Amino acid sequence: MSTPEELIAQADKKAKPVSGFSSLFSGSSTYRFEEAADLYVQAANQYKLQKNFSSAGKLFEKASESYLKASSPDEAGNILVESYKAYKNTSPADAARCLSKAIEHFTSRGQFRRAANFKCDLGDLYLLVNDKESAIKSFEDAGDWYSSDSAESLSNKSYLKAADLKAEMGNYIEAAETYEKIAEKSLSNNLTKWSTKDYFTKAILCRLASDDYPGAFSKLDLFVTWDRTFATTREFKFLNELLENVKDGDSEAIGKSCADYDQFSRLDNWKVSILTKIKDSVAGGGGNIVDGAGGEDDLT
């Protein structure tokens, strides 16, 4: 069995341009580049077995380049995915670069559903390197492509990731508008409408976090016209109390409302963060909002 180094040497020789008299005996260039790509892939897989993922990723990239020279764009895109997988755990930046190139191949071939799947992976990669802006763009692109393929549940999931990140970055109004759009779109879909009360809740919390009390108040009324059953839910009762507490400037009442709600429907870390921002805006400071006394309850 040949070593990776031997396979690379053979592949480099195949991929080397030939001209003049020697080209008459070298076969077609397409076939040579296909052979080179196959040899690079063999070497890359051996490096993977050795857990040398950086070298494997580089060779998969070389294989992709050879496939492009062999006029095989689909294979080039597929091999770039393998490069992304090799780099993923050791070099997220290289993994993101390769996956971006693969996505370009898929979209150019009209494979938008597949591209959307990998756009979500790309968004997760950007989060690993703390590039939230690029992550948001990736999730929004994925949401658009899923929607164009009528995959509304997947589309909503992608848009929600983008909205959650926007809120984490303090872009509360943009986040609220995204939640509102998702909620309105979900109402007519039996598979997604059950989630609307959570989208309504997030939208109201974001508007309050941005000090947009009038907007939050009017949106709560609007949501009830969208879905009459929302007025009977625990979420509506909680939001209605929260609006009253904010209007009264009563931070202690805000903390109590949150603690009471948390007893029946556990507040996740995202909601705790936003609610704490709201309480701090009213009180000028304070601890974890779930604890009415301003303590540090563990929500995990």
Return the ∠ at Cα 28 (arms to 27 and 34), rounded to 5°: 105
Task: Give, in order, the Cα–Cα distances in Å from 233 to each of 16, 196, 221, 224, 238.
Answer: 69, 11, 14, 11, 9
Q: Which amino acid is at 57?
A: G
What is the pLDDT at residue 19? 57
Give me 169's structure tokens: 């970055």
Q: Which amino acid is at 118?
A: F
Note the pLDDT tens digit of each residue in 27-41.
467 889 999 999 999
Could you give all domains of the chain from N- to C-terminal order, each with its CATH number? Answer: 1-105 (1.25.40.10), 111-169 (1.25.40), 173-300 (1.25.40.10)
What is the pLDDT at residue 132? 96
127-165 b/e (C-beta count within 10 Å ≥ 16 → b)? beeebbebbbbbbbbbbbbbbeeebbebbbbbbbbbbbb
What is the pLDDT at residue 299? 34
d(CA 98, CA 132): 19
Do 115 and 107 contact (CB within 8 A), yes or no? Answer: yes
What is the pLDDT at residue 190? 81
What is the pLDDT at residue 130? 93
To the nearest 10°, the Cα dihedral for 143, 145, 147, 152?
A: -60
What is the pLDDT at residue 194? 87
Q: What single-letter DSSP state applies at residue 298?
A: -
Nearest Cα neighbor of 258 from 287, 216, 225, 222 is 287
Do 11 and 43 contact (CB within 8 A), yes or no? Answer: yes
Do 39 and 16 contact (CB within 8 A), yes or no? Answer: no
Low-confidence ranges of the chain (pLDDT < 70): 18-28, 285-300
